[in-house]
Structure 1
Amino acid sequence: MNFVSTCGHILSVEERIILKNSCIILRDENRLEKVQLWGKILGLTSNYFIVQGKGKDLLKDNKIFYSLNGIDWQLLLPTSSEILEKVPYIRGRFTGDPSYHQNVIIVDWEDEGEDKQEQVKEEDRLSAIVTLIDRDTAAVPRGAVLLTPQGEVIRNRSFEGLSFSEATKLHSYLHFRPTSKKSDLKHLRPQADVDVALDFLEPISNDVPQGCWSVQVEEFNTIVLRNWWWPGMTFYHIPATSYYGQLYIGSGEPIMDLPFML
Structure 2
Amino acid sequence: MNLESVLGTLETTGYVGHVICTEEAMVLHNSLLILQNENHFRNTFFWGRISGVERDYYIAFGYVTDALKGRVYYYSRDCVNWGLLPNPTQHAKKVTPFCNTKFQGDPALVIDIMIEREETTWDTPLYKPEIKKLKEEDRLAATVHMITNEAALVPRGALFTKPDGVVVENISFEGLTLLDSRELSSYQHYRMPTRKWNTNLLTRDDYNYATDFLDPLDIDIPEGCWQIQILAGDTIAIIKSLFWPGLYAYHVVETPKYGFVYFGSGKKCLDTAFMLLPSS
Give the TM-score of the pair, scaled to structure 1. 0.95
Pick aligned residue for 1:204 from 217, 223, 245? 217
- Return the offset for 1:188: 2.7
Q: Please tell me whether residue 145 in structure 1 is matched to residue 159 in structure 2.
A: yes
Pick aligned residue for 1:226 from 240, 243, 256? 240
Q: Kindly tell me: are residues 23 and 187 of structure 1, through their superposed partners in 2, closer, same or farther at Cα, counting changes over 3 Å?
A: closer
Aligned residue number for residue 254 of structure 2: 240
Please give the secondary structure, in 1, of the residue aligned with 2:154: strand
Q: Please tell me whether residue 157 in structure 1 is matched to residue 171 in structure 2.
A: yes
Q: 2:18, 2:174 → 1: CA distance?
A: 29
Q: Kindly tell me: are residues 197 and 225 of structure 1, through their superposed partners in 2, closer, same or farther at Cα, counting changes over 3 Å?
A: same
Aligned residue number for residue 172 of structure 1: 186
Q: Please tell me whether residue 258 in structure 1 is matched to residue 272 in structure 2.
A: yes
Aligned residue number for residue 77 of structure 1: 86
Aligned residue number for residue 46 of structure 2: 37
Please give the secondary structure, in 1, of the residue aligned with 2:143: helix
Q: Read off the aligned partner of 1:14 and give its amino acid letter.
A: E
Q: 2:275, 2:253 → 1: CA distance?
A: 31
The two structures, once aligned, show a CA RMSD in angstroms of 1.5
The CA deviation string for residues 205-247 of structure 1, in whole angstroms up to 9 with x for no partner, is 1111111100001114210000011111110001111010111
Q: Please tell me whether residue 47 in structure 1 is matched to residue 56 in structure 2.
A: yes
Q: 2:63, 2:49 → 1: CA distance?
A: 18
Q: Please tell me whether residue 194 in structure 1 is matched to residue 211 in structure 2.
A: no
- Identity of matched residues, %: 35
What residue ranges of structure 2 are gaps of 5+ in the alignment? 1-8, 119-123
Aligned residue number for residue 21 of structure 2: 12
- Return the offset for 1:6: 2.9
Q: 2:200, 2:43 → 1: CA distance?
A: 34
Please give the secondary structure, in 2, of the residue aligned with 1:247: strand
Q: 1:190, 1:165 → 2: CA distance?
A: 18
Aligned residue number for residue 214 of structure 1: 227
Please give the secondary structure, in 2, of the residue aligned with 1:133: helix
- Return the offset for 1:112: 6.4
Q: 2:132, 2:203 → 1: CA distance?
A: 49
Bigger shift: residues 33-42 or 108-117:
108-117
Q: Read off the aligned partner of 2:50 and give its amino acid letter.
A: I
Residues 155, 187 of structure 2: 8 Å contact kept: yes
Residues 63, 71 of structure 2: 8 Å contact kept: yes
Q: Read off the aligned partner of 2:18 and give its amino acid letter.
A: H
Q: Kindly tell me: are residues 45 and 157 of structure 1, through their superposed partners in 2, closer, same or farther at Cα, counting changes over 3 Å?
A: same
Q: Read off the aligned partner of 1:105 and give its amino acid letter.
A: M
Q: 1:180, 1:256 → 2: CA distance?
A: 22
What residue ranges of structure 1 are gaps of 5+ in the alignment? none
Q: How many residues are treated as equivalent by the alignment?
A: 261
Q: 1:190, 1:77 → 2: CA distance?
A: 36
The CA deviation string for residues 57-96 of structure 1, in whole angstroms up to 9 with x for no partner, is 1011111100000001000011012210111110021011
Residues 215, 223 of structure 1: 8 Å contact kept: yes
